[in-house]
Structure 1
Amino acid sequence: MSMLEQTASRYRSLKLTTTASQLADLIAQAEANEISYLSFADQLVSNELNHRLHTRVQRNFRQAGFPARKFLEDFDYRHQTTITKRQINSLLDFNFIDDRNNLIFIGPPGVGKTHLAIGIGIKAIEAGYKILFRNALDLVEDLEMFEMKGELKKRISQISKYDLIIIDELGYLPMLQQARYNLFQLINALYEFRSIVLTTNKDFTSWGDFFHNDNVAIPIVDRIIHHSHIFMMGGESYRIKEKMKI
């Protein structure tokens, strides 16, 4: 075994697999550029860290469960009457996640609520945060399945490991009583511990419609809007607008 192979093997034993696999090329580049020993040492570490960051970001993308990739750069603010690019960009320092605050996008179908939620989620992943995206109906069914197995607390604990939970399209369909209580337990567990991005087509005065005026509606609303940034979105439906062009 050559010294290069032996050194690469030692790197692999330390789980520095990227450095091990690229060691020959890195040495060749260092020799060609006549860089200092310290610069070479720094290059080895930087190369390994950059690869690990890329791997972690890609893993977090897979775990997030986005239904599609929607980027903030593609969002058309020209059709919005109540929200600006500056407002959204001001959120991208992610202080709202660090401070355990929530974002709530309220507006009719088709105005871009989901686009903004996913776009912010993608930026958050790129910044190193762990994100979970769930359609509200899918989330409720997920909680119900675990509740039936007697594992609701376990599932809530799993969800609570994410830095930001995106709940999309809450309010489109009414909920059964047990579903409402399951959702309350999740919201209560996340309250002041994790951040939520919520999209809904109903303002808070109408939440009784899909909570059936249940007494669980008020504490859910209270925990969601406390420490939250609320965005009322207007404008025409993008989907209808695009359909009319055909």
Structure 2
Amino acid sequence: MDGSVEHLGQLDFLTARENVILLGPVGTGSSHFAEGLAQAAIENDLRVAWFTLETLSAAIGKSKVDGPTARIAARMCRADPIVIDDVGLLPVGADALKRSTASSTPPTNAAPSR
């Protein structure tokens, strides 16, 4: 896959069901770039699910108590791209890390919902 900004902006990685990982130190624009890709997806009538690792882990942890895990999973399955931001910003406990990686479906493998 061509990793150029122009190519990623075409959103071909979504139809190819490829994952995109944006890495960079704090302040280099990776979150901003992800927001741009998400906005482009929205402008192309795609559904976007956006989480930080912290909010996703908290929601999954809360679902163990309240039981809405199916709601979180449904939201993720309806999305074309799923963005999980700030993965390396905060320390995450082993239980939270285990919860956040327990999905058997990679983020961009959700079937397009058009």
TM-score by length of 2: 0.82
Per residue, is there more helix in 1 or in 2?
1
Aligned pair count reads 109
Unaligned runs of 5+ in 1: 1-85, 196-246
- When residues 125 and 191 of structure 1 are mapped into structure 2, their CA distance, relative to the original with a 3 A threshold, is closer
**Partner in structure 2 of residue 52 of structure 1:** none
Q: Percent identity?
A: 23
Unaligned runs of 5+ in 2: none
Per residue, is there more strand in 1 or in 2?
1
Residues 130 and 162 in structure 1, CA contact (< 8 A), matched pair in contact too: yes
TM-score by length of 1: 0.41
Residues 18 and 109 in structure 2, CA contact (< 8 A), matched pair in contact too: no
- When residues 109 and 116 of structure 1 are mapped into structure 2, their CA distance, relative to the original with a 3 A threshold, is same
Residues 156 and 189 in structure 1, CA contact (< 8 A), matched pair in contact too: no
**Partner in structure 2 of residue 136 of structure 1:** 53
**Partner in structure 2 of residue 194 of structure 1:** 110
Corresponding residue SS for 1:189: coil
- What is the CA–CA distance in structure 2 between the aligned matches of 1:152 and 1:178, rounded to whole Å? 16
Report deviation, 1:191: 5.5
Report deviation, 1:106: 1.0
Per mean C-alpha deviation after superposition, the further-off stretch among 117-126 and 156-165 is 156-165
Residues 136 and 170 in structure 1, CA contact (< 8 A), matched pair in contact too: yes
Report deviation, 1:111: 0.6
Which 4+ runs in 1 deviate beyond 4 A? none
Corresponding residue SS for 1:185: coil
Residues 97 and 163 in structure 1, CA contact (< 8 A), matched pair in contact too: yes
**For the pair shown, which has the larger CA radius of gyration, 1 or 2?**
1
Corresponding residue SS for 1:129: coil
Report deviation, 1:146: 1.3
